Amino acid sequence: MTIVGILGAGQLGTMLADAIHALGAETRFYDPEASAPAIRRFVGGMSGPWTDLAHLRAFAAPCDVLTYEMEHIDTDGLRSLDIDVVPSLDVLETTQDRLREKRFLRSAGLPHVAFMEATSPADLVTRGREFGFPLIVKTARGGYDGKGQWRARNEDQLDLVAQQLEQDLGPRFACAMEAVVDLEREVSCIVARAHDRSVQVFPVFENAHEHHILDWTLVPARISPAVARRVQAIARTTAEALGVVGLLTTEFFLSRTPARGSESEPVDGIHVYVNELAPRPHNSGHVTRRATSLSQFDALARIVLGAPVPEPTLRGNGYYCMGNLLGDVFAGQTELDLGGLACHEELLEIMLYGKLEWAPRRKMGHVIANACDADRALAAMRAIRGSLTLTPERPSEPPPTQR
Amino acid sequence: MTIVGILGAGQLGTMLADAIHALGAETRFYDPEASAPAIRRFVGGMSGPWTDLAHLRAFAAPCDVLTYEMEHIDTDGLRSLDIDVVPSLDVLETTQDRLREKRFLRSAGLPHVAFMEATSPADLVTRGREFGFPLIVKTARGGYDGKGQWRARNEDQLDLVAQQLEQDLGPRFACAMEAVVDLEREVSCIVARAHDRSVQVFPVFENAHEHHILDWTLVPARISPAVARRVQAIARTTAEALGVVGLLTTEFFLSRTPARGSESEPVDGIHVYVNELAPRPHNSGHVTRRATSLSQFDALARIVLGAPVPEPTLRGNGYYCMGNLLGDVFAGQTELDLGGLACHEELLEIMLYGKLEWAPRRKMGHVIANACDADRALAAMRAIRGSLTLTPERPSEPPPTQR
């Protein structure tokens, strides 16, 4: 039997493992965290730092191929292993560093929000003044779910960010500044690219974030067909330019006004900018478990195992809404009260991730609802989520601004 | 976290575990076979005989509740454990013995094919002559997938069956004789009954067997609405009469001619007979993973964890066809060639069970196809299955007769 080694043992790895098992292969997990869900669930999991070469070698020995479910991996150790990693470590190293990622977008001629680099606190303040306010500062490394991001409205605020970053990063100081986008919508698009370079593009997802963390995903996205085609075409070109074999999720900003300093041709009055890339299953892609004929996990499993990937088509005519369950809904309890699940006919999936410890904004699970239109799918998701919390669900948010 | 102990670690247990994990609980497996799929996949699995009390006690110790995925379990050891078993051991003991099961059907007034019991070889021959030919002999214990079943057209054949059974069973000789049914169709219906006695009934599945092993399942079944209602009503009454908490699958024979010696009122010209019962997830229920809003595994997971079970509704307007992948398709290879999976847009699921060893008629996996009508769903399932085999798929079988 083929054995696939998975780096990272969270919810994405767990659901990927289910898809790999369904194709008759086995999995082994490696994660720095010994209590990670897939380490605790599946046999043969190993825990250790990314820098422990002996451990990594023992982990990789029985595996035929490696893949990863997270980007915050030190690649030096992996480089020394004699085994295929899918997607490649080159791809991973580009996307795990915001500056490298932005430079790639620029060199590939892909539409993105104009940015400027800074390599020291003084540099940041001087160039920021030049760049103009308001602006967003993003560290090159270690950013996800809003970590490593600050918004500065003026020089005073930028000065504070520079001080903070000097403390946090010291000599590894490296960050990007970019203009604030007046957001119309955020969308993402997953591309599956196989070893033979054939490409399949998933439908476009509409995403809403709260406190920088994905709150819900809706598919199909509420955008015009021309905008959807543009988004899908850019996602496809990005995966090809990056040379990804595996999955690539591209996150986009859509805006009615051009971002300061950025070139872009609007389509149906909408400017489309690539925001960031993730060469792995994505939390916005959970919705594919129910919405499309093939899930993102199925697609990656097939690529890793060398099986062909058919076109992922949307199932039925309705809308699907995935809502994240953050630690907040657990409200300090160790188990969720499932009694509220009684009569939600729109509920297609509830998936709890088996994390041992809750934290306020930690992703603990998700639900997927299906309804005939977008409003009903969103309302159903909120009702289901509301029935699982002990505190009432907050009313729907105003239209998103820059996160 | 709640821990559910699962007795039996085959494909049904594995898929049940996925559903239990999705609700935030953990699982532990027990199976006499150390290489059973779920023992090899999930942490904490134990292997030992059903009669090893010390082993069973150690297994049950961390569990909050037990359930089972198979009926061929020696219940004596389990009786001595101080833990809830869902469905109850009384239910299991009734359904694991064909004579007890048939006596239950008779005493509950449920429509079934008339039968006669025999407790010795001489008894079998004498009563068989009285009962009339052709007849089916079924052993009380150990029967599944056609094992423990013989068809006798005359006294000579019955005499041979009696000799065979005397050798196999010795002093534990016990069997039933029943009339041969002129089959129009075979169907099954799964009922989920919760601790609060609320009942949910799944849509009726149409099943086809080959060599007594489930070949495919189609939903919705090609029967009239009145017949479907009758089947669902009988399935519901059966679960209630048996006092099941958990799942009960009821398999039915449908016939245009009344079975010899059996009483039944036809509906739309169709006589409906209960054939056999299984108080667990059922292979015909794989189709619910894609066809209904809630799968059989989701329903059992909720009952075991005390969560409410909503009504399982059919998704969309089309037909779903599940086709079993028997060991034959592997043709002696250790891995299936997945290259044929390229372009079957009707394919919604391929699930391989991770069994280490293939055998000609062993259930190794299944596929589920979806299409706008029954013929297309069946044809798609055959085409997908055909693309996975090394030998061409046989043409579709003539209408089924008694299996």
pLDDT surpasses 80 at B399 = no
Q: Which domains does chain B have, with CATH numbers?
A: 3-85 (3.40.50.20), 114-179 (3.30.1490.20), 183-388 (3.30.470.20)
Q: Are A205 and A217 in contact (CB under 8 A)?
A: yes
Looking at residue B168, its pLDDT comes to: 87
Nearest to A43 among B2, B43, B316 (CB): B43
Q: Which residue of A has its CA nearest to B194?
A: A342
Looking at residue A144, its pLDDT comes to: 62
- SS3 (DSSP) at A3: strand
Helix (H) or strand (E) holding A364: strand A363-371
Place of tokens 């082993």: B55
CB contact under 8 A, B345 and A313: yes
* A347 touches B: beta carbon within 8 Å: yes
Q: Provide DSSP, A299-315.
A: HHHHHHTT-------B-
pLDDT band per the 50, 70, 90 thresholds, residue B169: confident
Q: Which residue of B has its CA nearest to A343?
A: B310
* A357 touches B: beta carbon within 8 Å: no
**Structure token pair of residue A72:** 């915050």
pTM of the model: 0.93
- In tens, the pLDDT along A37-56 reads 999 999 999 999 999 999 99
- In tens, the pLDDT along A307-345 reads 999 999 999 889 999 999 988 766 656 567 788 777 778
Q: Are B244 and B193 in contact (CB under 8 A)?
A: yes
* A40 touches B: beta carbon within 8 Å: yes
**Structure token pair of residue B328:** 């034959």
- In tens, the pLDDT along B73-87 reads 999 999 999 999 999
Looking at residue A143, its pLDDT comes to: 62
Looking at residue B330, its pLDDT comes to: 65
Separation CA B27–CA B7 (nearest Å): 10
E-state strands within A180-318: 183-193, 199-201, 205-210, 213-219, 246-255, 271-278
Looking at residue A400, its pLDDT comes to: 47
pLDDT band per the 50, 70, 90 thresholds, residue A402: very low
CB contact under 8 A, A310 and B350: no
CB contact under 8 A, B334 and A40: no
pLDDT band per the 50, 70, 90 thresholds, residue B207: very high
CA B36 to chain centre: 18
Q: Residue B16: count other Cβ atoms within 10 Å of its Cβ.
A: 28
Separation CA A338–CA B24 (nearest Å): 10
Looking at residue A389, its pLDDT comes to: 62
Mean pLDDT along residues B14-25: 96
Residues 6 or more apart whose Cβ sits within 8 Å of residue A196: none
* B305 touches A: beta carbon within 8 Å: yes
Give the DSSP letter of residue B314.
Answer: B
pLDDT surpasses 70 at B70 = yes
Task: Say what percent of chain B tops pLDDT 90.
Answer: 80
Looking at residue B333, its pLDDT comes to: 62
Return the sign of the alpha-carbon dihedral for residues A314, A320, A324, A330: negative
Place of tokens 């009508």: B373
CB contact under 8 A, A347 and B2: no
* A314 touches B: beta carbon within 8 Å: no
CB contact under 8 A, B341 and A365: no
CB contact under 8 A, B334 and A310: no
- In tens, the pLDDT along A298-307 reads 999 999 999 9
Helix (H) or strand (E) holding A360: none
Looking at residue B142, its pLDDT comes to: 72
Task: Say what percent of chain A tops pLDDT 70.
Answer: 94
Q: Residue A82: count other Cβ atoms within 10 Å of its Cβ.
A: 6
**Structure token pair of residue A190:** 């997953």
Separation CA A110–CA A117 (nearest Å): 18
CB contact under 8 A, B316 and A316: yes
- In tens, the pLDDT along A369-384 reads 999 999 999 999 999 9
Looking at residue B335, its pLDDT comes to: 65
pLDDT surpasses 90 at B48 = yes
Give the DSSP letter of residue A28.
Answer: E
A90-99, B55-64, B102-111, B335-344: the lowest-pLDDT one: B335-344
The CB-side HSE value for B383 (13 A sphere, CA atoms) comes to 16
Return the sign of the alpha-carbon dihedral for residues A223, A227, A232, A235: negative
CB contact under 8 A, B21 and A41: yes
Any alpha helices (H) in B148-287, and if so which ranges? Answer: 155-169, 225-242
pLDDT surpasses 90 at B38 = yes
**Structure token pair of residue A26:** 């086995």
Nearest to A18 among B2, B18, B24 (CB): B18
Question: How far is the alpha carbon of A348 from chain B, nearest alpha carbon, in Å?
Answer: 6
| B352, B358, B367, B368: best to mutate for the A interface, most A CBs within 10 A | B352
| B4, B16, B18: best to mutate for the A interface, most A CBs within 10 A | B18
Q: Burial, A37: exposed, middle or buried (Cβ in 10 Å; 0-12, 13-18, 19+)?
A: buried
Mean pLDDT along residues A126-132: 93
**Structure token pair of residue B263:** 């009483």
Looking at residue A386, its pLDDT comes to: 84
Mean pLDDT along residues A189-202: 97
Mean pLDDT taken over chain B:
91
Task: Say what percent of chain A tops pLDDT 90.
Answer: 80
Nearest to B341 among A307, A339, A348 (CB): A307
Nearest to B344 among A43, A310, A354 (CB): A310
Separation CA B83–CA B79 (nearest Å): 9
* B395 touches A: beta carbon within 8 Å: no
A181-190, B105-114, B132-141: the lowest-pLDDT one: B132-141
| A11, A195, A293: best to mutate for the B interface, most B CBs within 10 A | A293
Residues 6 or more apart whose Cβ sits within 8 Å of residue A284: A188, A190, A205, A207, A214, A217, A249, A251, A322
Separation CA B66–CA B249 (nearest Å): 19
Mean pLDDT along residues B100-106: 97
Taking every pair of C-alpha atoms in chain A, what is the biggest distance, in angstroms? 60
CB contact under 8 A, B293 and A348: yes
* A34 touches B: beta carbon within 8 Å: no
| B20, B23, B26, B314: best to mutate for the A interface, most A CBs within 10 A | B23
Complex ipTM: 0.91
Looking at residue A338, its pLDDT comes to: 82
Task: Report the relative pairing of strands B115-118 and B175-179 from DSSP bridges.
Answer: antiparallel
Residue type present at position B257? T
Looking at residue A399, its pLDDT comes to: 44
CB contact under 8 A, A352 and B306: no
Looking at residue A388, its pLDDT comes to: 82
pLDDT band per the 50, 70, 90 thresholds, residue B398: very low
CB contact under 8 A, B341 and A302: yes
CA A243 to chain centre: 19
Looking at residue A357, its pLDDT comes to: 80
Looking at residue A76, its pLDDT comes to: 93
- In tens, the pLDDT along B334-388 reads 567 788 777 778 899 999 998 888 788 889 999 999 999 999 999 999 999 888 8
Mean pLDDT along residues B10-39: 97
Looking at residue B401, its pLDDT comes to: 45
Q: Which residue of B has its CA nearest to A18?
A: B18
Q: Which residue of B has its CA nearest to A17?
A: B41
**Structure token pair of residue B183:** 């089959």
Closest to B296 measured CA to CA, from B357, B254, B229, B248:
B248
Looking at residue B387, its pLDDT comes to: 85
Helix (H) or strand (E) holding B259: none
Closest to A368 measured CA to CA, from A345, A382, A348, A338:
A348
Looking at residue A1, its pLDDT comes to: 83
How many beta-carbon pairs under 8 angstroms link A with B? 105
Separation CA B59–CA B38 (nearest Å): 15
Tell me the chain B residues in contact with residue A334 when contact means C-beta distances shorter than 8 Å.
1
| A289, A352, A363: best to mutate for the B interface, most B CBs within 10 A | A352
Mean pLDDT taken over chain A:
91
Closest to B159 measured CA to CA, from B132, B119, B128, B185:
B128
Looking at residue A255, its pLDDT comes to: 97
Omega cis (within 30) before A87: yes
Tell me the chain A residues in contact with residue B315 when contact means C-beta distances shorter than 8 Å.
315-316
The CB-side HSE value for B44 (13 A sphere, CA atoms) comes to 19
Question: How far is the alpha carbon of A246 from chain B, nearest alpha carbon, in Å?
Answer: 16
